[in-house]
Structure 1
Amino acid sequence: MTQGSRFDLLVVGGGINGAGIARDAAGRGFSVLLCEQDDLAAHTSSASTKLIHGGLRYLEYREFGLVRKALQERETLLRAAPHIMWPLRFVMPHMPDLRPAWLIRAGLFLYDHLAKRELLPGSRGIDMRRHAAGAPLVDSIRRGFVYSDGWVDDARLVVLNALDASEHGARVMTRTKLVSAVRAGNEWHAKLQRADGTSFDVRAGAIANAAGPWVAELLHGALGRGAQHSVRLVKGSHIVTRRLFDHDHAYIFQNPDKRIIFAIPYEREYTLIGTTDIEYRDDPAHVAIDAGEVQYLCDSINRYFKRHIAPADVCWTYSGVRPLLEDENADNPSAVTRDYKLELDAPEGTAPLLSVFGGKITTFRKLAEEAVDTLAGALGQKAPAWTAGAPLPGGNIERADFEGFLARFQREHAWLPADLARRYARAYGTRATNVIGHARSLSELGRAFAPGLYEAELRYLRDVEWARSAQDVLWRRSKLGLHVEPGTLAAVTADIDAWFAQEPAARAA
C-alpha cells in the first residue's frame, strides 16, 4: 500500500461487526480498508456461546423488537453459510420452582411466531422419561420443552465476512492498529501502525468504529471525540468437558439466580458449557476465566445431570468481554440489552464517523446493513443493500443441504479419511477443494503438523485467511487445539509458529 492511499471507508475492528460492515460496504462499491490490531476474531467474536438465536430469555425482559430482529436473521444466516451454521434443537427441562409451565409455553409460542420460519421446526412439550434427552438428567426432571435455534462457528463467520469483503475489493490488514485520525475537511487523515512498529498514513472519506470493547477508548483516544452512548463490559466465560451426553440436542438450563446456562454438543467429542455474566473493568485483551466461574458452571451442570463434573474435568476454557450497550435500568449483567446503537458524528461539511455500541452475533448482518446505509447517506452515495440473499464464501451449497454436499465431496475425494473430509467440508464448504488443491493422497497434502492438520491447509490459511500463528490456526480458524494430546500441544504450537516464521505469506497482512 502506498503512503497516503485514499479509501471511501476505513473500518476499525476485525470482529464480527467490523468484518460485516467491510463486506457490506465493499459489495456496494465502496473502496474499503479494514484494520484490526490483532487477528480477526481475536477477542469477543471468537468467545461467544456460538449460537445463532433470537434470545429466548430476552422475552422475559420484554425485548420483543430485538428478539424479532434476531429471529428474522436466523434463517437468513443459516442459508448464507450452511457449512459453518446449522439448526440445533434445544431441550429446556421444566423446573416448577423457577417458572410455571404456562409461562414457558407462552414464551415459546411467541418465539415460534415472532418471525417467519421455514428451516426450523417449532417448539413442543416432551416427556423426559421417554425422550433421549431425559436419560442423562436427574430422575426428578419429568417434563420439558424442545425448541429450535442455530449453531455457528463464530470465528470462521468473522473470517468469511472478511474474505468476502476482500473478494469485493476491500483491503484487510490484520496486526495493524489505528494510532490517530484527524478530520481535514471532508476526509480523515489516519495513521496506522503495523505489528513491527512501522507506520503509514491513509485518507478516508468516513470511519466506522467497530472496535467492540475498545469502542469508547478509540473514540476518546485515537479519534479525539466524545460519545452520546457508552458500553458496559460484561465477561462471559465457558468451559469445555468431555462429552456428557450422546444425543445431538443441546440443553438450556434455568438457574435460581435467573441466569441461563447452555450445555451444547461440541467438536463431536466434547460438551460446551456457558456462559457466565460478570461485570468487567480490566483490560479486555487479558480477560480470563477465574476459579469461581469454573465452579459456578460445574455446579450449574450438577444441578441437572446425573453425572457430576468438577473443575478437574475441564479440558479447555475461554472468556470474552461483551461490549453491551449501557442500560442504566439493568442492575443484573444478564438483563443488560443485547441490542445496538449506531452513533453518527457528522457535522456539516466534515467527514463522517460512525461508532457501533453493543450488538450480538446473530444481528451482525442487519447491523452492518444499517451502518452502511447510514454512511452511504452521509457520503452522498446511493447503493442498494445486497447481503440478505448472498452466500458467504463456501456457502453456495444447493438448497443449504450440507449432508448432501458432504456425500458428494466424500465421493469425489474418496482418499480422504471420513473425519477429515467432514472437517474440511464443515470449515470451508464448497471451497474445501481450494484447500486440497491438486492433491490425490494424504502424502500430497504435505507434512502433518498434528493429526488431521497438513501443510496444504496451513498454506491456505496463511495465504487466503490471514492466519499468522499457531494460535490463529489451532484455536480460531479451527479448534484442532482441542484434539491435540495435551502433552504435545506446546511442541505442536512451536512447530507451527516456526513454519509461519519461515514461510512468507503470499499476500501482505
Structure 2
Amino acid sequence: MPVWNAAWREGALAELAARDWDLIVIGGGISGAGILREAARRGWTCLLLEQRDFAWGTSSRSSKMVHGGLRYIAKGQFKLTRDSVRERQRLLQEAPGLVDPLSFVMAHYQGQFPGPKVFGGLLALYDALAGKRNHLYYPLQALRYLAPGLKQDGLLGGTRFFDAVTDDARLVMRVLGEARGDGGEALNGVKVIELLRDNGRVVGLLGEDSESGRRFSFRSRVVVQATGAWADKLRATASEHVRPLRGSHLLLPAWRLPVAHAFSFMHGADRRPVFVFPWEGATVVGTTDLDHSEPLDQEARISSAEADYLLAACAQQFPAAAITARDVLSTWAGVRPVVSDGSVGRKPSDETREHALWLEPGCVTLAGGKLTTFRLLALEVLRACAGMLDRALDDQAAATFPACPPAAMPSLSPAQQRRLAGRYGRELPRLLALLDEVGSKRVAGSDTLWVELAWAAQNELVLHLDDLLLRRTRLGLLLAEGAKAELPQIRALCQARLGWSDQRWASEERDYLELWRRCYSLQVET
C-alpha cells in the first residue's frame, strides 16, 4: 500500500478533493471504517473523512468488549442478540490476537437477582443463538478457587460464560487498513462544514483541514454520515434524535486488583450492571451511563461522581482490595450515540440500543449501533446507498480480515506473534522489517513493542502526540502519568519519523500532558 503519513496527507488533500467519488463517509470510528471497508471491497471509489483522529470518539473509549449483548435478551431484542453473537464468532475466528475470548463470571448472592436458575436460563438462550454451549455453574467452593477476593457475605456460587475483548482503537485501524488495501482512502483532521446540495440532493461536502485551515469541496454521488453522537449536526430536525450518553471507566494496575476473568455484577446503588475485567495487562472498572450535556467537540472526561460510583463498585465486590482513587492509573470517558424518541423521564439505561438509518436524496445517516455488529451495519448502509447509485448489493459473506500468509518472527514469543498478526494483518511484513532496526523490546513492561511506535509514526497518519499515545498505542492509558517517564525515549525514536522540529515536539508534548491531566487522569486531593 502507498505511504500513509502526514507528509502524504499534505500533498494528497487537494488531489483527493479533485476526484469524483461514488461514496464519501463522514466519521472515522468503527462504523465509518466498516462502511469504507465494505465499499472498497466492491470496487466503489470511496473516501473517509474524520474531523479529529481515527477512533477519537466512542471507538477508542468503549468498554472494549465484543459481545452478544446478553442484556438485550432480557429486553426481548432477540435479533440484535443473534446478530451480535454471530458477528462475535466471526471476529474471534478472523482476528485472533486483536479479538480474543474473555471469560466472564456472574456471582450469585442470597436474595439478589438474577439467581443461578434465571441467569442460567438466559445463558441457555444466549448459547442457542450462538450455536454452542458456553456456560457453566460453579458452586461456592469452586468459585472461591476460581475467583478469590470476591465479597463473601451471602455468596451462593457463580456462573461462568464467555464473550470477547478487543483493543477498540486498533480494531478501527485494522479495518481501515483492509479498506485501504482494497483501494479506499481515509483522511483524519478534516472537519465537514456543510453538505453541498443541488436541487435538494446532496452532491458532496465542504471540508476544512484542521492543520492548515484550508477548505476543500468534495464531490460524491452519495454521502454517508457515520458520526456517532454528532449525527444530528448536519441533518434536518426529525422526530428521532441522538441522545448522547456518557460511559466512564477507571484503569487500575493489575497488581492492585488482579483478576483472571471479567466479573459482572449489579451495582448496589442503582442495580445497573458493572464490570471489572483484565485488559492489556491492567484492570478496567466500568461503566457508567448518564446524559452527557457538555459540548461534543470537547474531550469527554469522567466526573467526580462517576469516579466515586466506580470506586464504590470495587469496594462492594472486592472489599479486601481496598481500592482508592490513588490506585487509578488513568480514566477514559466515551459518549454513546443512542437513538431516542425524546420521551421525557426515560432513564439512560432504559433507552434501546437499536440503530436507525435516516435517508434524504444523496445522503444516508447512521445513528446508534454497536461495536460488535459494525459489518452488518455497514451492509445495511450500503444497501441504502446502492439504491441511490442504481447498483445491486448483496452480503458476499467475505471475511472482514482475510487470512494473511504466516510471517517469520523468531525474535518474538508465540503470544507476541499472535498479537502483532491480529493488530496489523496485511501490514505485518512491513512492520517486521523494522524489527532489525528497532528491536523487539517492550515499552516499560507493557505488551506494546517499541517497533509499534516506530511503525505508527511512519505509517499510520499520526498528526499529534495524543494520536500516537492514546489511539495508535494505548501507552497513555497503561503507563503512569500518561507515559511521561518514557517520553524522552519515545521522542528519540519517533520525532524524526514524524518530521517534527524540536519546537513542534515540545509543543506537542506540552499539549499532550495537559490533555492527559485534564481528561484521562483522576484528580486526587492531597
Post-superposition shift, 1:17? 0.7
- Could you tell which deviates more after superposition, 75-84 or 464-473? 464-473
- Counterpart secondary structure, 1:9: strand
Partner deviation per Cα, 1:92-134 (whole Å, 9 max, x = no partner): 00123331333212211111112324xxx51121124223333
Distance in 2 (alpha carbons) for counterparts of 1:426 and 1:169: 21
Does residue 137 (structure 1) correspond to residue 150 (structure 2)? The answer is yes
Task: Give the residue type in structure 2 aligned to 1:127.
Answer: P
2:23 pairs with 1:30: no
Corresponding letter in the other structure for 1:413: M
Residue in 2 that maps onto 1:380: 390
Residue 281 (structure 1) aligned with residue 276 (structure 2): no
Distance 1:104 1:438 in 2: 49
Which segment is superposed worse, 250-259 or 234-243? Answer: 250-259
Distance in 2 (CA, whole Å) between partners of 1:439 and 1:267 is: 22
Alignment pair present for 1:104 and 2:101: no
What is the SS of the residue equivalent to 2:97? coil
> Residues 273-312 of structure 1: matches in 2 within 5 Å?
273-284=285-296, 285-305=298-318, 306-312=320-326
SS at match of 2:141: coil
The reply on whether 1:151 has 2:159 as its aligned counterpart is: no
Q: Say which is worse superposed, 62-71 or 286-295, in terms of deviation.
A: 62-71
1:478 aligns with 473
| C-alpha spacing 1:389/1:246, structure 2 compared with 1 (3 Å) | farther
Q: Secondary structure at the match of 1:337?
A: coil
- Equivalents in 2 of 1:300, 1:481: separation in Å? 24
Question: Deviations 1:119-173 (Å, cap 9, x if unpaired)?
Answer: xx51121124223333121222231111111111111111111111111111211
Quote the Cα distance in structure 2 between the aligned partners of 1:287 and 1:485. Answer: 20
Shift of 1:245: 5.3
Distance (Å, rounded) in 2 between the aligned partners of 1:449 and 1:133: 30
CA shift digits 1:48-80 (9 cap, x unpaired):
111111111222322222222212211122222
The aligned residue for residue 227 of structure 2 is 211
Flag the 1:397–1:82 CA change in 2: closer, same or farther, 3 A.
Answer: farther
Given that residues 83 and 428 in structure 1 are in contact (C-alpha distance below 8 angstroms), is that contact kept between their aligned partners in structure 2? no
Aligned residue for 2:504?
A: none
Q: Does residue 260 of structure 1 match 2:257?
A: no
**Please, which runs of 5 or more residues in structure 1 have no aligned partner?**
220-224, 347-351, 399-404, 505-509
**What is the identity, as a one-letter code, of the residue corresponding to 1:198?**
R
Offset from partner CA, 1:198-222 (integer Å, 9 cap, x none)? 1111110011011111110122xxx
Deviates more, 1:288-297 or 1:421-430: 421-430
1:445 paired with 2:442, answer no
Amino acid at match of 1:277: D
The SS at the match of 2:233 is helix
Measured after TM superposition, the shift of residue 463 of structure 1 is 4.3
Distance 1:456 1:308, change over 3 A: closer
The 5 Å alignment of 1:37-436 reads: 37-99=51-113, 100-117=115-132, 121-131=133-143, 132-140=145-153, 141-184=155-198, 188-195=203-210, 196-219=212-235, 225-243=236-254, 244=256, 246=258, 248-256=260-268, 257-268=270-281, 270-284=282-296, 285-305=298-318, 306-328=320-342, 331-346=346-361, 352-386=362-396, 388-392=397-401, 396=403, 412-416=408-412, 424-429=420-425, 431-436=427-432
Supply the distance in 2 between the matched residues of 1:184 and 1:215 (Cα, whole angstroms): 21
CA distance in 1, matches of 2:443, 2:91: 32
Counterpart-to-counterpart distance in 2, 1:496 and 1:341: 45
Give the Cα–Cα distance (whole angstroms) in 2 for the partners of residues 113 and 499 of structure 1. Answer: 54
- Shift in Å, 1:496: 7.0
Contact map agreement 1:470 1:497 (CA 8 A) in 2: no
How many residues are aligned here?
Answer: 473
Which whole-Å CA distance do the structure 2 matches of 1:147 and 1:309 have between them? Answer: 26
Q: Secondary structure at the match of 1:143?
A: strand
Q: Alpha-carbon deviations, 1:340-371, whole Å to 9, x = none?
A: 0111112xxxxx21001111111111111110
Measured in 2, the distance between the counterparts of 1:362 and 1:30 equals 24
How far apart are residue 428 of structure 1 and its match?
2.5
For the residue of structure 1 that corresponds to 2:130, the secondary structure is coil
1:245/1:343 CA distance change after superposition, 3 Å: same
Alpha carbon RMSD of aligned pairs, Å? 2.8
Residue of structure 1 equivalent to 2:514: none
Q: Deviations over 1:324-354 (max 9, x none)?
A: 01155672211211110111112xxxxx210
Q: 2 CA distance for matches of 1:63 and 1:167?
A: 36
Residue 208 to residue 239, structure 1, CA distance change in 2 (3 Å): same
TM-score by length of 1: 0.85
Deviation at 1:16, TM superposition (A): 0.8
Percent identity between the two aligned chains: 31
Alpha-carbon distance in 2 for matches of 1:429, 1:30: 22
Is the Cα–Cα contact under 8 Å of residues 276 and 285 in structure 2 kept in the other structure? Answer: yes
Q: Please tell me whether the aligned partners of residues 295 and 310 of structure 1 are also in contact (alpha carbons under 8 angstroms).
A: no
- Specify the SS of the correspondent of 2:321: coil
After superposition, the Cα gap between the structure-2 partners of 1:110 and 1:171, relative to the gap in structure 1 and judged at 3 Å, is same
Shift of 1:250: 1.1
Q: How does 1:456-475 map to 2 (within 5 A)?
A: 456-475=451-470
Cα deviation for residue 480 of structure 1 reads 2.3
The one-letter amino acid paired with 1:341 is A
CA contact under 8 A between 2:151 and 2:317: conserved in structure 1? yes
Q: Any gaps of 5 or more consecutive residues in structure 2?
A: 1-13, 502-526
Q: 1:219-238 deviations in whole A, cap 9, x for unaligned?
A: 2xxxxx33342111100000
Report the Cα distance in structure 1 between the residues aligned to 2:97 and 2:417, rounded to whole angstroms: 13
> Mapping of 1:492-503 within 5 angstroms?
498-499=495-496, 501-502=498-499
TM-superposed CA distance for 1:467, in Å, is 2.4
Aligned to 1:222: none
**Alignment-mate amino acid for residue 136 of structure 1:** G
8 A Cα contact 1:468 1:500, kept in partner: no
The CA deviation at 1:478 is 1.8
* Superimposed CA distance per residue, residues 364-385 of structure 1 (whole angstroms, 9 cap, x where no aligned partner): 1111111001111221012433
In structure 2, the CA distance between the partners of 1:234 and 1:438, relative to structure 1 (3 Å rule), is closer
* Residues in 2 aligned to 1:464 and 1:382: alpha-carbon distance in whole angstroms: 35
